Amino acid sequence: MSRPYYIAGNWKMHKTRAEAAELAGALASRLADGKHKYLVAPSFTSLETVGAILRGTNILLGAQDCAPAEQGAHTGEVSVLQLKDLGVQAVILGHSERRHIYKEDDALINRKVKLALKHGFEVILCVGELLEEREAGRAEAVCETQTIQGLEGVSAADIPKITIAYEPVWAIGTGKTATPEDADAIHAFVRKVIARLYGTDAAEKIIIQYGGSVKSENAAQLMAKEHIDGALVGGAALTAETFVPIAKFA
């Protein structure tokens, strides 16, 4: 079956509000005739600014993370209630930087996933292996564990709100990209895991993005693969010149 392509830009810790507004405005005009599903995830500080520009466009407003609790004594955290108040529609969870730099484990990520779903957000759940895990032949095992534990307790009714993003950690910001064949093999494997958990229909419908040094030069080859349904773009999402060609890949 044909799944819609979903291209998301993760701006990470870049851009002042003025810079974010400029990029959001450029994307809103240049992607107005785009055929795919789009999202951008600015820093928390720019969500309100960017949200005002994107309102009524075909680009969803995403957040890069959320706290595992609705409110309370959590210094430095941002809650789902605050994100909802800003018009955020989707949350990226379990990004490799959260896992490996900030030591978030699967149980914590799972709490965030369930809380985000409870409050009506779409979720992009990131999974992926380190270089040493891939070299040890454990890429599939790592992605399987992260998928199963990340979705623990998530109902079949909520699965349509989940997108999986496969990010081979060794290919992020390194200029190394998994070959389209490497990436597609893991995507196919993750789809089998979803089929086991939620049935074939859910597995056929779930969107699995690729995230690992996606550029305009490799976007079309990646998207041509059967199980690759879009991209979670980092560095190339930071300018309209580099993001639009990926978003409009032919």
Report the catalytic residues: 95, 167
Among 176, 177, 203, smallest CA distance to 188 is for 203
Give the total residue count for the chain: 250
Distances (CA, A) of 232 to 180, 199, 247: 15, 25, 10
The CA distance from 201 to 204, in Å, is 5
**CB within 8 Å of 31: residues ≥ 6 apart:** 38, 57, 58, 59, 244, 247, 248
- Tokens representing 175? 């200029």
Q: Specify the DSSP class assigned to residue 116.
A: H
Helix/strand/coil (H/E/C) assignment for every residue in 218-241: HHHHHHCCCCCCEEEECHHHCCHH
Handedness of CA 209, 212, 214, 217 (dihedral sign): negative
